[in-house]
Amino acid sequence: MTASAQLGSRSIALDESAGPTKAVPGSVRQDHRAAHTRPRPALPAPLPPAPVPPAPGPPAAKPPAAAHRPAPQTGQVVALSATVIVTLSVVAGLSWLGQSADPAMPEHTAVVRVGAGETLWDVAARVAPRSDPGAVVKRIEQLNGLTDTEVVPDQQLQVPDGR
């Protein structure tokens, strides 16, 4: 059903079939604004339900800590194994290099003369070449009652005999 209404000097057709009354200038036509409106965006997805708190009561037993550890990756195991092997090799190599040919101090002693320009370290290296010179110097000091490492040419010293 259409009804006409007079507004000012223009006539407007009223369309009553579409529910509420809409005023349309001129003849009965569709509202152009409604034809050019954009569609509404889709509603967001619903949120998952909130977790339900546990019922009151005795606390639940915690699982062992190892149960939560992730299993090591194959690459990690290989890298750790390689690191251990390299470390052990370095330690073994350094201990082998640190050994002298005859680390023991010679048991027998001999008496020698200090040469011109020789130091106690030179005498130690000459009389026990396969032993630690520092240990030989200390032993010479003990055998001769020396308080320092100074010696004079032609001085006689009791020394470990490692020759």
Residues 68-105 pLDDT 10s:
667 778 888 888 999 999 999 988 888 777 665 445 67
Going along the chain from its start, the domains and CATH numbers come out as 2-27 (no CATH), 109-160 (3.10.350.10)
Q: Rounded CA gap, 22 and 33, in Å? A: 13
For the chain, what is the mean pLDDT?
75
Q: Rounded CA gap, 100 and 97, in Å? A: 8
Return the pLDDT at 30: 55
Return the pLDDT at 149: 82
**pTM exceeds 0.85:** no
CA dist 42 → 33, 35, 39, 49 (Å): 21, 19, 9, 21
pLDDT at 113 over 90: yes
Return the pLDDT at 1: 47
Q: Rounded CA gap, 83 and 85, in Å? A: 6
pLDDT at 3 over 60: no
Residue-wise pLDDT for 126-144, tens only, equals 988 888 888 889 999 999 9
Angle at CA of residue 10, ends 6 and 15, nearest 5° = 60
Which comes out higher in pLDDT, residue 12 or 145?
145
